Amino acid sequence: MEISGFVLKGYEDVRAAFAANFADGGELGARFSAFRAGEPVVDIWAGHADRDKTIPWTDKSLVCVYSAGKAAISLLIARAVSEGKLDYERPVADYWPEFSSLGKGQITVAMAMSHQAGLCGFADPIPPEEWINHDKIAARLAAMAPLWPPGSASGYHTQTIGYIANELIRRAVGRSIGALLREDYAGVDLHCGVAPTDIARIAYMPKPPSAPVHRQDSEFTKIAFLKPWSAAGKVSREDWLAAEIPASNMHGTARALAEIMHPFANKGVDAQGRAAIDPAAVAAALSPRISGEDLVLPFRLTWAAGLMLNTNQHFGPGATAFGQPGFGGSAVMIDPAKRISAAYVMNKMSPALAGDPRAVRLFSALDRCL
């Protein structure tokens, strides 16, 4: 099997791990990329972008990264904090007054970003096609009561965190997440709302062979994941691709994810050597906010303001790592102590909600090389 791209000297174990994922039959097409202290050290891809294995995976192949896109959301929120447009410790309602209704007035930006707001989904039915309409979902979130006391526990906001963050950015920055990616990160191949000209680059993505193992004892899990209205439905593929659903339908490459997240790993400096985010904002973004059994995901988690601490080794063995997994296997990892950012994307989905063995193998190999 041919592996394209490059691996710098000293990182050969990563190439071997990548090849092993294919040799084990775990991949159709995939890419893995890493930056260290501003330098790209690994960027490799292999396999196929189509069902019939006739279209090679290339450096232009796009894939839906599902919740791995939440990592980029956390970075954009931190950038707004660095610019003085948002403050983690201020209430969301300071920027979005309508949000204060029904006991939500004291929910801070940091609480919302660490999944403590009690807004993991809608308990009562909504038209599933509304998920492609940001304004309607934002209005519903502003008008609803929390499902648990805010600040008392985390409960993964599968879809809703994207709308909360997007509304904060729209009000504080004046542009949406999709617009920021298009305009300020034009050289980074990450999209929240895919242009028609890019649709042909999107890889075929077969469904996982079985359903994920969800928490069985939580009504919040059902609300977040399993209701017929828990995600977008009754819409065309083209409308879904074009919509800004930041928490679950970003499309991009592994290199794009590793690159956009690099300031979190590199003291606020991006992969081009520019001071992108104030180090104090990076520290605030990565400060642990809450620990305990998540009310939605079947894990005990520690959340920072948008990323998970690596308490379950979902992102390799690094004790100082943070990350965000995506359904099916994609994952983003940053480690500020080692000044490393990395990402894995693929188109053969697994049932993993987090800790996909293919991603863990790659992050572990990378850690051994540092």
Give CA–CA dist 22/46, Å, rounded: 9
Give CA–CA dist 287/88, Å, rounded: 11
Residues of the chain predicted below pLDDT 50: none
Per-residue model confidence (pLDDT) at position 62: 98
Q: Does domain 4-369 have CATH number 3.40.710.10?
A: yes
Per-residue model confidence (pLDDT) at position 1: 82
Give CA–CA dist 125/262, Å, rounded: 39
Count of CA atoms in the C-beta half-sphere (13 A) of 17: 24
Q: How is residue 211 written in tokens?
A: 């359903």
Per-residue model confidence (pLDDT) at position 291: 98
- What torsion do the CA atoms of 218, 223, 227, 229 make, to the nearest 10 degrees? 180
**166: CB partners within 8 A, 6+ apart:** 73, 134, 138, 176, 177, 244, 246
Q: How is residue 287 written in tokens?
A: 């400060």
Q: Express each pLDDT in 238-267 by its tens digit.
A: 999 999 999 999 999 999 999 999 999 999
Per-residue model confidence (pLDDT) at position 289: 98
Q: In angstroms, how far is CA 181 from the centroid of its own chain? A: 14
Per-residue model confidence (pLDDT) at position 349: 97
pTM of the model: 0.98
Q: What are phi and psi of 142, to 5 degrees?
A: -65, -30
Per-residue model confidence (pLDDT) at position 343: 99
